[in-house]
Structure 1
């Protein structure tokens, strides 16, 4: 073999060795990159989980936890705020949502008659609060307004504040009652209601869980919607001929029987 051929073979072997060394070095870099990328993914996932855990519940309205009923309420699994004398022979059961336009229409039409009958001792009313519009339209105004009315009940001001809320009801699509500041502002229309205790009750959502319990009772009651109005257990809101005068007459006749 000539010296030239031997030199060519040696050069080829050297090139092959260099190429193999490069391949091994490249493979090591790839393995290192894969390992480091896996570590980064794990750390990123851990960071994401940590962030989700840290933010869990933020921005939500707390409707869970122990049920704290407002003072003087009744109803057990179907919570109610009673208005009127316990001795009244007739009971009007009203399921309402403070964001519900039909509820406002009912209140505007029957408010004075109901006050007359409760003040005279002929009628007691059980108000059950629902959050139907929150569920249908989104938002939390039904819940927050109901909680605020429960706070007013603690102060013995429920009937007056209940009326103020319906008299100042925003448009159904406007969730203004979700603003606690608005609810506190409206409390200024009820003499003696806007106190530090009332404000804290509203801002803390003290009775949110109680309102949620009431709404669950509404959902399980098989009612068609709000308002649902029962006189001594009979649904009278479905009566197309019902008027405030007819309601008053029915109660007075019930008293005589």
Structure 2
């Protein structure tokens, strides 16, 4: 009987241990499920915020914490010809009004802005009413991965070296691939598009694109953007005041023209 009691007690102890282990495993699993659910809810809220901001402002993307490729500092920042710091200035320097544009060549919201306002911006520049200061940004690379924003911006800087920035800038937006397709990471495509700008597709331009001559400068430009306080592309300012992306005060080509040409 004593031996039987020991056996029974031993089995009972094992059963209790098994039940306790099962409870512990269940508790651990529930905790893991709770953490995963919380993480999914957090990602859902973040996605919803980005979506709302995108709809409200008509922008392509909100900057992530990664800031694209801006964290890399290995390459030297070689500015393109005529650049002022990290800015590519276009138009007559004597123009009284200044439009400042932060753009990413992979950003669909930037393409939307360019498609709607391109002709108006060019006309105001040609008449000497307004100059434009372009800041090249790599938000999409940072948020979605890839290098198309960086490589396209470098190619645009190479076009600036040749005095053909505006024309090539327009070509890049007119031929912009889907945001999810990092086609501008293909440098051959960027060189092929240069053929649409008379006189741009030269050996010097090709070498500049292939070697990433201005990659470091583009990273520096994106770094300036991430520290600027602005977080979305496109960010458009007229004489330092944000004028694009407010649904309550929508901007139109006619309104932009009036803002630039009106006196006082």
- Do these two structures clear the TM 0.5 threshold for a shared fold by scoring above it? yes
Does residue 160 (structure 1) correspond to residue 130 (structure 2)? The answer is: no
Aligned position for 1:244: 253
**Which residues of structure 2 form unaligned runs of 5+?**
1-71
| Cα displacement (A) at 1:233 | 0.4
Computing the radius of gyration over CA atoms, which structure comes out larger, 1 or 2? 1
Q: Is the 8 A contact 2:75 2:215 kept in 1?
A: no
Match of 1:57 in 2: none
Q: Distance in 2 between matches of 1:239 and 1:208?
A: 32
Name the counterpart of 1:72: 82
Does structure 2 retain, via aligned residues, the 8 Å contact 1:67–1:207?
Answer: yes
> Structure 1 residues 215-224 or 154-163, which shifts more?
215-224
Unaligned residue ranges in structure 1 (runs of 5+): 1-61
Q: Number of residues paired by the alignment?
A: 191
Partner of 1:22: none
Once the two structures are superposed, what CA deviation does each residue of 1:169-226 show, in whole Å capped at 9, x if it has no partner?
0000000000000000000000000000000000000000000000001101111310
Query: Deviation at 1:242?
Result: 1.1
**SS state at 2:89 partner:** strand
Distance 1:239 1:91 in 2: 20
| Distance across 1 between alignment mates of 2:252 and 2:136 | 23
- Provide the secondary structure at the position in 2 that maps to 1:173: coil
CA RMSD of aligned residues (A): 1.0
- 2: CA distance between counterparts of 1:175 and 1:214? 20
CA contact (8 A) 1:93 1:230 kept: yes
Counterpart for residue 87 of structure 1? 94
> Which residue in 1 is equivalent to 2:199?
192
Whether contact under 8 Å (2:141, 2:147) holds in the other structure is yes
Aligned to 1:38: none
Contact preservation (8 Å) 1:63, 1:208: no
TM-score relative to the length of structure 2 = 0.71
Asked if 1:218 corresponds to 2:217, the answer is no
Match of 2:184 among 152, 177, 190: 177
- The structural deviation recorded for 1:67 is 1.1
Write the deviation string for residues 142-181 of structure 1: whole angstroms up to 9, x where unpaired.
Answer: 0000000000000000000000000000000000000000
